[in-house]
Amino acid sequence: MSNDVNYIKDCPKCNGSGEMDCPSCGGSGYDYMDGGQCDRCDGTGDVTCNRCHGSGVVSA
């Protein structure tokens, strides 16, 4: 029997939300280059966290 225990904690990159500010628009939802909605986040200002893949937790 193994004594390995997997601990999880809130993702430090998104603070456990599973989402983070869009790196393309800085979370504004607006594309200043094109003058319209940001294509990467579809104007929401948020994207799925690339560290926890949207789960909000990571292994400790």
C-alpha torsion sign, points 36, 25, 51, 17 = negative
Long-range contact pairs involving 39-44 (C-beta distance under 8 Å, separation at least 24)? none
pLDDT at 1 over 60: no
Task: Please write the tens of the pLDDT for every residue from 14-56.
Answer: 999 999 999 999 999 999 888 899 999 999 999 999 999 999 9
Q: Where are the domains of the chain?
A: 20-60
In terms of Cα–Cα distance, which of 19, 25, 23, 21 is closest to 38? 25
